Amino acid sequence: MSDITKQSLSELVKNIKDKKLSSEEVTKAFINRSEKSKELNAYITEDYSSALDKAKKFDQKPNLELKLPGIPMAVKDLFCTDSIRTTAGSKILNNFVPTYESTVTQNIWNEGAILLGKLNCDEFAMGSSNETSFFGNVQNPIDKNLVPGGSSGGSASAVAGQLTPITIGTDTGGSIRQPASFTGIVGLKPTYGSCSRYGIVAFASSLDQAGPMAQNVKDCALLQEVISTYDPKDSTSIDFKRNEYSKELTNNIKGKKIGIPKEYRVEGMPKEIEELWQKGIQYAKDCGAEIVDISLPHTSYALPTYYIVAPAEASSNLARYDGVKYGFRAKGENLTDMYEKTRSEGFGAEVQRRIMIGTYVLSSGYYDAYYLKAQKIRKLIKNDFDEAYKKVDAILTPSTPSSAFKIGEKKDDPVSMYLNDIFTVPVNLAGLPGISIPAGHDAKGYPLGLQIIGKAFDEQNILNIAYAMEEKINFKNKITDWWIK
Amino acid sequence: MVVCDIFKYHMSIDLKTIKHISKLSRISVDEQKAEKLAGDLNSIFKFIEKLNELKTENVVPLTSVAETTLKLRSDEIKSEDIRKQILKNSPQDNEDYFVVPKVIE
């Protein structure tokens, strides 16, 4: 069967279940394409030979009842994988080999999936362009000179470039949705507490969530169904009734009320983004949804709030990298000197910057002015959404304020880089689910995404809206395989 | 003109402050790096300063978006002998312990 890598997850699952394809054939196809795609730099660690072994083993006694039967997939290198190096894109974890498995990846293997390798990402998931990775930047399959977005840049590039049928990323401020938007794929950030954080390298614990990235909404729904489980090992994991998202998926969204927040019409936003948004509103109407104007008055405070809360939590989480128990260690004259040199040589510039911001806002005398203030404003931001959801079922916004930018373009200007996440960050601060779907192209032919934000635990509803709109949008990603020689 | 608190603070991120934060962060910083960091942090704090437009005296801070109380686990011992796993990634160990540079003279 030709063009295996062009098939969606749902097609591959069906073909394996109908015995038209073996796991070995599918795994081989993705390995071959991944090997021809080194220029994208999507992988940090490849695990091809054991993937093939696992595929052959699966085929000997295939369990076709599983949800991901013999499906090969690569995952973001932020998930700890037992006996497979896990780096978080950092020099400080360059040689780290976990002795345990993250809950989310374990869920995937339990349903029959097979690990292809670990995907590149911004260092400790801190970045919006994948340029902070110790393992080099990743190229966007759309165009050689474009960033794939970040922090799940390797993941987005690998799905858009068909190096893996699906993947999982993590999203602290937009790290699934922004790269999904930049590469023309679908990415879901679930409700906080929906997917276990156990075994995920921590960045900002009150914001971090794992989520699926795929070529279409249905595949995303299936993967979400697999990874979202209650887990006693994560004290913030929430025990709620989870849907069988892919089975319950429907394009009937008649009468759903969709809110359009006026504050997302930000100054300096390109005309193309506004036009895309208007088109999205029309698509939603065509699907039978009712459009309601709403207000989220504290939107413009979300990014500054995020840049206090996230670095504060990061500075605390990253205190564990001290060169003693695992990871990189620099030589020092004494213990303190060893700590300071290890962290100075082991962390990249952006991570050091965020640790410093976090340390400063938590330090004696500044805590109330910064951290406490940010927590209070976070409450106001959440209240805005609570108020809006009295009137609407979901909210529609652009995913990003622009299409993908050029490699190097924003690297030296942290604030302009941070502005990328202006539409995605409020969702993390409020702990809500949000999905980005590809919805059109700009004049340069680069993909643009729309975001649908839901009520907490209402993943099914935003998946349904995304599913209905996807059908109307009928997006075709412009991938030319330029990197394949 | 309203003088806001955060503006007052952010102006004070000078080299001395950078050195202080770097000490608290256990990240060594030379002069050149300190200057770069001071510039970056000042532009970031200028951006953060916007929060001071809002009055928040009566707002209850949000500490967790999950509106549930944390679950307690039953008090069962689940210890396994995982010494080997714990030491597996250590940069330097002597089979039983992590080894660090000498602390006591």
Flag if B60 and A430 touch (Cβ within 8 Å).
no
Catalytic residue of the set A10, A23, A37, A76: A76
Q: Is the pLDDT of residue A414 over 90?
A: no
Q: Is the pLDDT of residue A384 over 50?
A: yes
- pLDDT confidence of residue B104: 79
Query: With contacts defined as CB-CB under 8 Å, which chain A residues touch B21?
Result: 356, 359-360, 363
Report the percentage of chain A scoring pLDDT > 70: 100
Rounded to whole angstroms, how far apart are CA atoms B53 and A102? 42
ipTM of this complex prediction, to 2 decimal places: 0.90
Q: Is the pLDDT of residue A370 over 70?
A: yes
- Is A151 part of the annotated catalytic residue set? yes
Confidence of residue B6 (pLDDT cuts 50, 70, 90): very low
Rounded (10°) CA dihedral A88, A91, A97, A100: -30
Instruction: Check the CA dihedral A3-A7-A11-A12 and report its sign.
Output: positive
The answer for A 36-95 residues in CB contact with B (under 8 A) is 95
- pLDDT confidence of residue B7: 45
Catalytic residue of the set A128, A151, A228, A237: A151
* Residue with the two structure tokens 């349904």: A464
Flag if B48 and A308 touch (Cβ within 8 Å).
yes
Confidence of residue A144 (pLDDT cuts 50, 70, 90): very high
Q: Is the pLDDT of residue B1 over 50?
A: no
Rounded to whole angstroms, how far apart are CA atoms A166 and A213? 6
Rounded to whole angstroms, how far apart are CA atoms A323 and A307? 27
Prediction pTM value: 0.96
State pLDDT tens for residues B25-44: 999 999 999 999 999 999 99
State pLDDT tens for residues B57-98: 999 999 888 766 777 888 888 888 888 899 999 998 777 899
Mutate to test the interface with A, among B46, B62, B70 (most CBs of A within 10 A): B62
* Range of lowest pLDDT (A153-162, A289-298, A328-337, A413-422): A413-422
Query: With contacts defined as CB-CB under 8 Å, which chain B residues touch A339?
Result: 26
Residues 6+ apart with CB under 8 A from A479: A141, A142, A160, A161, A162, A184
The answer for A 445-484 residues in CB contact with B (under 8 A) is 456
Q: Please tell me the distance in Å from B12's CA to the nearest CA on chain A.
A: 12
Flag if B61 and A379 touch (Cβ within 8 Å).
yes
Question: What type of residue sits at position A342?
Answer: T
Do the Cβ atoms of A417 and A293 come closer than 8 Å? Answer: no
Q: Is the pLDDT of residue A42 over 50?
A: yes
Query: With contacts defined as CB-CB under 8 Å, which chain A residues touch B61?
Result: 372, 375-376, 378-379
Average pLDDT in the A9-23 region? 98
- Is A175 part of the annotated catalytic residue set? yes
Flag if B44 and A340 touch (Cβ within 8 Å).
no
Confidence of residue B8 (pLDDT cuts 50, 70, 90): very low
- The fold of A7-485 is Amidase signature (AS) enzymes (3.90.1300)
Mutate to test the interface with B, among A376, A415, A427, A428 (most CBs of B within 10 A): A376
With H, G, I as helix, E, B as strand and everything else as coil, classify residue A75: strand
Q: Is the pLDDT of residue A463 over 90?
A: yes
Query: With contacts defined as CB-CB under 8 Å, which chain B residues touch A357?
Result: 41, 44
Q: Which of A163, A157, A207 is nearest to A187 (CA)?
A: A157
Q: Which residue does chain B place closest to A302, by CA atoms?
A: B51
Q: Which of A136, A92, A134 is nearest to A320 (CA)?
A: A92
Flag if A97 and B28 touch (Cβ within 8 Å).
no
CA distance between the termini of chain B: 57
Flag if A340 and B18 touch (Cβ within 8 Å).
no
Flag if B64 and A333 touch (Cβ within 8 Å).
no
**Average pLDDT in chain B:** 85
- pLDDT confidence of residue B11: 56
- Is A295 part of the annotated catalytic residue set? no
Confidence of residue A412 (pLDDT cuts 50, 70, 90): confident
Flag if A335 and B56 touch (Cβ within 8 Å).
no
Q: Is the pLDDT of residue A274 over 90?
A: yes
Confidence of residue A64 (pLDDT cuts 50, 70, 90): very high
Mutate to test the interface with A, among B28, B53, B80 (most CBs of A within 10 A): B28
Q: Is the pLDDT of residue A237 over 90?
A: yes
- pLDDT confidence of residue B45: 93
Between the alpha carbon of residue B66 and those of residues A72, A226, A263, A382, the distances in Å are: 34, 21, 25, 12
Q: Is the pLDDT of residue A217 over 70?
A: yes
Residue A286 in tokens = 């065509």
Residue A15 in tokens = 């073909």
Instruction: Check the CA dihedral A125-A129-A130-A132 and report its sign.
Output: negative
Q: Is A348 on the interface with B (CB under 8 A)?
A: no
Flag if B28 and A343 touch (Cβ within 8 Å).
yes
**Average pLDDT in chain A:** 96
